[in-house]
Structure 1
Amino acid sequence: MTLWCISWFNTSQAKELTLATSKSIPPYIFEETENGIQIERVRAAFDLAGHSIKKIIFTSNKRAELLLKQKKVDAIINVAMDQKNLYYSDPVIHYQNSAISLSRLELNLKSIEELAYYRVMAFQNAKKFLGNRYATAVSKSPIYDEAVNQLAQLERLYNEQVDVIILDVRIFEYFNQLYNAAGKYPAPVQYHYIFPSSPRSLGFHNATLRNDFNRGLKKLLSPSNDTKDSQDTPNPVPN
């Protein structure tokens, strides 16, 4: 009877959740198929916590935050960490931005400030996300541009129109595969880890649900699981 009551209590607490997130950020988030590295990790953590995802709303960051504050969604994936009156989960995954150059150039970037000497193309709003040191450095670059389409960054790099591109390592590798699949042949590249890794968490309006998610995430990322990969361990960043 005791075991039955415990089972009934746990089942009664299970929830079907609605989440909001930004639009596609391959390979982390795919809107069309509602999956990707990040979404699958979130889904698995909720499953281990006894909950399930019923619906995912793909929208702008601003609207996602509004939906959460209005309690029309249970959580936001990729929430900004400066929002008041929200409960933040433990990091789900780490993004790792990197400066990427052609290997044949033999660049040896040790700091963000050295970007001032090179032609640079970054992802959209990089100046906002990568901080003042970055914004100051690239303001001195011979050429600086930001791209909405990150595949365009690869094109510019391989065509030697820029010396360095700035983007997340996983995103680069995803688009590099597309580039290769299109019959083009990428050249060897070098990663310069001059940026710290960026943890990505979920935002909740309910502390209990946040705590449930953290427990599921802890189980998922425990040493007995092989879901946590080397990319989630921050790379050392030179001073």
Structure 2
Amino acid sequence: MPFILGFFIVFALSSYAEQPSSERLEKPLILATTAYIPPYVIESNERGIQLSIIRGAFDLGQLGAFKVEFMSNKRMVASLLNGEVDMTINAPDNIEGIYYSEPVLYYENVAVALKNKNLDLRSSANFNGLSVFAFQNAASFLGKDFSLSINKMKSYDEVVNQMAQIDHLMKGWVDVIVIEKRVFNFYLEEYKKTHRVDEVSIFTIFGQAPRPMAFRDKILRDKFNVFLLQFKQSLEYSAMLDSPTNL
């Protein structure tokens, strides 16, 4: 009986090995992200700089297909922790048991003012007496100096709708907007289609923020890092960063 059982196990494994790979493909990986962070992530057609770079690294390394699922930040983190998804974009730092990749790219938050205001913004201290319109949760993201400067501003508001930031700036309703640089350029191009725009000054006072991927599996993270670094040396990667509206 043991001999017969062993024979059938070997036969079954041999038959599996002989099947075409298409018949035994593993279930696609699942990448979770929030739905709309243009130009980084755009739900329609699953476009955006970050998605394109991640696909480029996966394709280069033949790491397999992945499915994109869009969800809130809170659900994204919970889904990563409980194993419903395999990897995420823009997960919070220092989640225990999660493996972070090398930066896919860097975000750069900036202060933007109309050029005719003649402002010279070199640090958060220069916001004193100004009306500032920032992205949601900017006070939490931009560090202690910025947070402390809020009480000395003429007014301070945060908003989810970043097109509203462009509109308020161009209409002179606020002195300064605080926004990620490529996000600003993306929305400015959209705004130009229907509105006149004035020249602006962009102040790079907040530094760059690395944006890694977060993985549940260390081996997959390690493989992704290898091919991400290779992809970042390519002209394709440079083109994605330089022409985000063409993705």
TM-score bracket relative to the smaller structure: 0.7 to 0.9
Compared with structure 1, are the counterparts of its residues 217 and 67 closer, same or farther at alpha carbon in structure 2 (3 Å cutoff)? same
Question: CA contact under 8 A between 2:132 and 2:175: conserved in structure 1?
Answer: yes
1:19 counterpart residue number: 31
Is 2:219 the partner of 1:197? no
1:237 counterpart residue number: none
2:10 counterpart residue number: none
1:137 counterpart residue number: 149
Question: CA contact under 8 A between 1:221 and 1:228: conserved in structure 2?
Answer: yes
Taking only aligned residues, the RMSD between alpha carbons, in angstroms, comes to 2.2
How much does 1:117 deviate? Answer: 2.6
**2:99 equivalent among 87, 110, 115:** 87
Question: CA contact under 8 A between 2:49 and 2:240: conserved in structure 1?
Answer: no
**1:227 equivalent among 231, 237, 241:** 237
2:14 counterpart residue number: none
Is 2:192 the partner of 1:180? yes
Q: CA–CA distance in 2 between the matches of 1:210 and 1:15? A: 18
How much does 1:68 deviate? Answer: 1.2
Aligned length: 221
The Cα offsets for residues 138-194 of structure 1, whole Å up to 9 and x where unpaired, read as: 221011111111111111111111110000111111111111112x11100010011
How much does 1:83 deviate? Answer: 1.1
Q: CA–CA distance in 2 between the matches of 1:230 and 1:72? A: 30
How much does 1:63 deviate? Answer: 1.0
**1:127 equivalent among 133, 139, 143:** 139
Residue 219 of structure 2 aligns to a residue whose secondary structure is helix
How much does 1:99 deviate? Answer: 0.3
How much does 1:34 deviate? Answer: 0.9
Residue 57 of structure 2 aligns to a residue whose secondary structure is helix
Q: CA–CA distance in 2 between the matches of 1:229 and 1:169? A: 17
Q: What is the one-letter code of the residue matched to 2:133?
A: M
Gaps of 5+ in 2: 1-23, 243-247
Q: What is the one-letter code of the residue matched to 2:204?
A: Y
2:180 counterpart residue number: 168
Compared with structure 1, are the counterparts of its residues 140 and 231 closer, same or farther at alpha carbon in structure 2 (3 Å cutoff)? farther
Question: CA contact under 8 A between 1:17 and 1:51: conserved in structure 2?
Answer: no
**1:208 equivalent among 219, 225, 230:** 219
Question: CA contact under 8 A between 1:41 and 1:92: conserved in structure 2?
Answer: yes
When the two structures are superposed, what TM-score results if normalisation uses the length of structure 2? Answer: 0.84
Question: CA contact under 8 A between 1:123 and 1:147: conserved in structure 2?
Answer: yes
Q: CA–CA distance in 2 between the matches of 1:26 and 1:165? A: 17
How much does 1:16 deviate? Answer: 2.9
Q: CA–CA distance in 2 between the matches of 1:174 and 1:56? A: 22
**1:46 equivalent among 46, 50, 58:** 58
Q: What is the one-letter code of the residue matched to 2:219?
A: T
Question: CA contact under 8 A between 1:74 and 1:205: conserved in structure 2?
Answer: yes
Q: CA–CA distance in 2 between the matches of 1:65 and 1:145? A: 27
Question: CA contact under 8 A between 2:108 and 2:209: conserved in structure 1?
Answer: yes
Q: CA–CA distance in 2 between the matches of 1:100 and 1:199? A: 21
Compared with structure 1, are the counterparts of its residues 15 and 28 closer, same or farther at alpha carbon in structure 2 (3 Å cutoff)? same
Residue 214 of structure 2 aligns to a residue whose secondary structure is strand
